[in-house]
Amino acid sequence: MENKNNIPGKTTAVIAYLTIIGAIIAMSMNMEPKHSFARFHTRQAFGLHLMFHGFALFSSVWFNQYALYGLYLCYIVLWVYGFLGALSDKKQEVPIVGPYFQKWFTFIQ
């Protein structure tokens, strides 16, 4: 049986998208050896999870049902986009916020 997981760090990149805890686990998994593919997707996933939790906390204070629908829809669409990119071995940034995540989370090595 042929191994199709030919990109180093692909497993770490996929784990990063599972939850915010998965992103933290992926950070520790990528400590040694360091893979640029895993680093890229860990930054994207960590940013998505952090953005979602931040906006959810903000929305819980000023409850608006339609804002929560928009938040979940935006999060799910961006999450699926990033997750499919990790599965298909592509370094594609999530739309709009992806380049910012790469700049802001440079501490993720």
| pLDDT band, residue 3 (cuts 50/70/90) | low
pLDDT digits (tens, 9 = 90+) for 45-95: 999 999 999 998 888 887 778 888 889 999 999 999 999 999 999 999 999
Could you tell me what percent of the chain has a pLDDT over 70?
A: 95
Bond prior to 33 in cis (omega within 30° of 0): yes
What is the domain partition of the chain in residue ranges?
10-99
| Average per-residue pLDDT for the chain | 89
Given a contact cutoff of 8 angstroms between Cβ atoms, the answer to whether 83 and 17 are in contact is yes
Give pTM, 2 decimals. 0.87
